[in-house]
Chains A and B, each alone.
Chain A
Amino acid sequence: TIGMIAIHKTGHTAAGTSTNGIKFKIHGRIGDSPIPGAGAYADDTAGAAAATGDGDILMRFLPSYQAVEYMRGGESPTTACQKVISRIQKYFPKFFGAVICANVTGSYGAACNKLPEFTQFRFMVYNSLMEQPVEEKVDCI
């Protein structure tokens, strides 16, 4: 799954996802990616977020909507992403998932749920301070 956020220099935001889902799913199964507020969410007045991982779990918690609402409340993108991961962790400590977040000033962050085989999450960022796309990584919580 790719989840993407774009913020125009005018402050207009957009977010989106595209995926082929999970292997060997039951015919007809739809995951979190195409669900607004789950796979991705954008609001010019607060920011944008996108998620990837166990779609059958993620979609129940609307992670990208929740992250944007945390940023609306003043949390930094990193804290907003971390709080969303923590919410899901309480119910499903072994879920596989990661969230990327950006607020309307262009600050950004990410968070992921730590598993034995998943301790870091890699994502791409490109802004006006960079000459080219930069790969960053966060330690999972």
Chain B
Amino acid sequence: ARPLPLVLNTWPFRNATETAWKMLMCGGSALDAVETGCAVCEREQCDGTVGFGGSPDEFGETTLDAMIMDGTTMNVGAVGDLRRIKNAIGVARKVLEHTTHTLLAGESATKFAESMGFVNEDLSTDTSRALHADWLARNCQPNYWRNVIPDASKYCGPYKPPSILKQDGSAYGETGAHYGHD
């Protein structure tokens, strides 16, 4: 038997796999399967790295990134730094279906999402607020700044470039294996 159709996804996010498969089984397209499968993880906040209430930025805000690609038309919809909209891949699908653009970002992507009927709502939760408060209490460690003053490996910002930039080592700070990852 040919093994198609097929659903494959990173990490053991079983519900996402199941939902995508069911979409294929009831006549949905491959795009529909990817959109509905990933949306499950946005709702379920899969391991805290998908959806609202995770990975607060330095200001404590959760922002979302998502994309969807159609391998038949090579059409793509994507959102980066999406603020205050929960269903990021749903917005990415709208970018694909309703614009000739590929990627919308930030506050403007939020405005686009609202024009498509998505709800503008806070993406923070007690969990993300606690994460952020704990980070502040630990002198904002770790962070993604380098070559700045005050010393980012010891203190919180705001940071400024030193008067004379001294080059340090790698262009990629070793933030630890499991630390910074998408």
Contact residues of B: prevailing secondary structure = mixed
B11 to chain A, nearest CB (A): 6
Residue of A19, A34, A122 contacting most chain B CB atoms (<10 Å): A34
A107–B132 CA distance with the chains assembled, in angstroms: 42
Tell me if B9 and A3 are in contact (CB < 8 A).
yes
A28–B63 CA distance with the chains assembled, in angstroms: 8
- Contacts of A20-79 to chain B: CB distance below 8 A: 20-36, 39-44, 48, 50-58
A40 to chain B, nearest CB (A): 6
- Encode B36-79 as 1/0 by CB contact (under 8 A) with A: 01110110001011111011111101111111111110101011
B112 to chain A, nearest CB (A): 14
Given A6, A50, A92, A128, which contacts B20 in the complex, CB threshold below 8 Å?
Answer: A6
Tell me if A19 and B6 are in contact (CB < 8 A).
no
Q: Count of B residues near A, CB < 8 Å?
A: 85
Tell me if B92 and A16 are in contact (CB < 8 A).
yes
Residue of A13, A30, A32 contacting most chain B CB atoms (<10 Å): A30
**Cβ of B18 under 8 Å from chain A:** yes
Q: Which residue of B lies closest to A49 (CB)?
A: B8
Tell me if B142 and A100 are in contact (CB < 8 A).
no
Q: Which residue of A lies closest to B38 (CB)?
A: A18
**Cβ of B182 under 8 Å from chain A:** yes
Given B7, B10, B21, which contacts A1 in the complex, CB threshold below 8 Å?
Answer: B10
Tell me if A14 and B55 are in contact (CB < 8 A).
no
**Cβ of B180 under 8 Å from chain A:** yes
Residue of A21, A40, A58, A115 contacting most chain B CB atoms (<10 Å): A21
- Encode A75-102 as 1/0 by CB contact (under 8 A) with B: 0000000000000000010111110101
Q: Which residue of B lies closest to A57 (CB)?
A: B172
Tell me if A122 and B11 are in contact (CB < 8 A).
yes
A129–B55 CA distance with the chains assembled, in angstroms: 37
Given A18, A57, A116, A128, which contacts B88 in the complex, CB threshold below 8 Å?
Answer: A18
Can you offer 29 A-B residue contacts whose CB atoms are under 8 A? A4-B8, A5-B7, A6-B7, A6-B31, A12-B29, A14-B29, A18-B39, A18-B41, A19-B49, A22-B180, A24-B140, A24-B142, A31-B65, A32-B182, A35-B78, A35-B80, A35-B103, A36-B78, A43-B74, A44-B72, A50-B9, A52-B11, A97-B181, A107-B3, A125-B17, A126-B6, A127-B6, A133-B21, A135-B12
The chain A residues found within 8 Å of chain B, CB to CB, are: 1-9, 11-36, 39-44, 48, 50-58, 92, 94-98, 100, 102, 105-108, 115-118, 122-129, 132-133, 135
Interchain residue pairs A-B with the least CB separation, the first 8: A42-B71, A13-B71, A14-B30, A55-B182, A30-B80, A106-B3, A6-B33, A16-B68
